[in-house]
Structure 1
Amino acid sequence: MIFSVQFKTRWADFDANIHMRHTAYNDYAAELRLRFFKKHNITIQDFTNENVGPILFEENTKFLREIHMGEDITVNLKVVGLSSKGERWKIQHEVFNQAGNLSAIITVYGAWLDLTKRKLTVPPVKFQQIFSEAEKTPEFKEILLKN
């Protein structure tokens, strides 16, 4: 099942053209990822206890349709790619306007960071499972790491 959340947009999300400002899309995608972790019983305290946290290498947003002031939006999460031990991941978010029309596609490429060593790491099993069990895109493929 696809993980999605409906958000009520805020006045601060919009620009002088009376449509959603470009960075607001990415803010909602980031909020969705935190809610995805929480739904899978991973909290900020778990990041601290496990000494690991998610980081992003790339974030790409493709804008398809305007979202106007006052519209609610729905954002989802699907996995595009995952390395064999879950240390690297690629996620896609689709942002839908209030009418249900696809308005943006956000793709993020990230990994897990050891918070003490400040180096990439293989996450604990609990963290690995959340992406391996998530909805996959039709284009899903394994992320191959160079040794």
Structure 2
Amino acid sequence: MNFKVNFTTKWADFDANIHMRHTAYNDYAAESRLRYFKKYDITIHDFTKEKIGPILFEENTKFLKEIHLGEDISVNLKLLGLSRNGERWKIQHEVFNKDGKLSAIITVYGAWLDLVKRKLTVPPSKFQDIFKEAEKTENYEEILINQ
């Protein structure tokens, strides 16, 4: 399933060079992940109720083309990898400018955290189900966990 979010950029997203700040790209990627969770009826209330939350180990951004002041963007979400038990995941976001040109690729490696024990955890099935129909990248791989 293809998932893409359109965003209207704002003044605060841009720097003195009149292009989008490097951290703004990552903010929009994070927002698209939360909107993806919401599409599957997972909200902040579910995180609180289940005492679970997403955490990131790694975030990498490759910049390809400038996004200028006043341009709107779109950000997609694709699955790069998932552990068999659903505990860990890798997501790729592609950021497109107003003309549909690929402007950045953001990859994140994360997992589900038990908010009480402060340890990684296998999420409840509701949280595992969100990635079942996610579009996968061409280089998708199962994440192997060293026990």
Fold conserved between structures, TM > 0.5: yes
**Residue 95 of structure 1 corresponds to which residue in structure 2?**
95
User: Where in structure 2 are the equivalents of 1:100-119 lying within 5 Å?
Assistant: 100-119=100-119
Q: Which runs of 5+ in 1 are unaligned?
A: none
Q: Which runs of 5+ in 2 are unaligned?
A: none
1:49 maps to a residue whose letter is K
The count of residues paired between Structure 1 and Structure 2 equals 147
- Structure 2 residue matching 1:109: 3-state secondary structure: strand
Question: Is the 1:86–1:132 contact (alpha carbons within 8 Å) kept by the matching residues of 2?
Answer: no
TM-score normalised to structure 2 length: 0.99
TM-score normalised to structure 1 length: 0.99
**Residue 6 of structure 1 corresponds to which residue in structure 2?**
6
Displacement of 1:129 after TM fit? 1.0
**Residue 134 of structure 1 corresponds to which residue in structure 2?**
134
Displacement of 1:131 after TM fit? 1.5
**Residue 38 of structure 2 corresponds to which residue in structure 1?**
38
Instruction: Summarize deviations over 1:95-133 as a string: whole Å, max 9, x none.
Output: 000000000000000000000000000000010111232
Question: Is the 1:9–1:72 contact (alpha carbons within 8 Å) kept by the matching residues of 2?
Answer: yes
2:134 maps to a residue whose letter is A
**Residue 20 of structure 1 corresponds to which residue in structure 2?**
20
1:58 maps to a residue whose letter is E
- Structure 1 residue matching 2:15: 3-state secondary structure: coil
Identity of aligned residues (%): 77
- Backbone CA RMSD of aligned residues: 0.5
